[in-house]
Amino acid sequence: MALYDYPINTLSGDTTSLKEFEGKALLLVNVASQCGLTPQYTGLEALQEKYASRGFSVLGFPCNQFGEQEPGTAEEIATFCSTNYGVTFPMFEKIDVNGEHRHPIYAELEEVADGEGHAGDIRWNFEKFLVGPDGAIVQRFSPVVTPEDPALTEAIEQLLPA
């Protein structure tokens, strides 16, 4: 199956898939509200605002598997993201990104290695996956690579029309 085909719920509980994002460049990120990397929401929202009109979207996937740093309910997560970071990009249900109950989207993503050669399990919150408009997984970025990192922004720009 392609990334677009797996069913997933939105943060508000509606069943959907990534099909509506087909043809766009995407940055899929497992997120958490109580992590040292949580301030990356600011940069992720800036990417959304800068590139959305050119066919790009950040997609957030809350996950509580790393230090239980995303303990909230869907409503609490939505309120936190909106109130503290003005998040407008799509957010999905809280999922597992590793282990026996790993969501199929992340089973596909984790096969790609990052710049350091790490493939397999997601290491921490805010690991990033850049997906091209054709649905191909283009690049994986370590959690410590910030949304403002030139390597990330250049990779996004290469996928977008001028």
- Tokens 């590139």 belong to which residue? 51
In the chain, the DSSP E strands lie at: 8-9, 15-16, 25-31, 56-62, 128-131, 137-141
In a structure prediction context, what are the per-residue pLDDT tens digits for the chain, which is 162 residues long?
689 999 999 999 999 999 999 999 999 999 999 999 999 999 999 999 999 999 999 999 999 999 999 999 999 999 999 999 999 999 999 999 999 999 999 999 999 998 889 899 999 999 999 999 999 999 999 999 999 999 999 999 999 987
Q: Known catalytic residues?
A: 35
**Domains of the chain, with CATH numbers?**
3-159 (3.40.30.10)
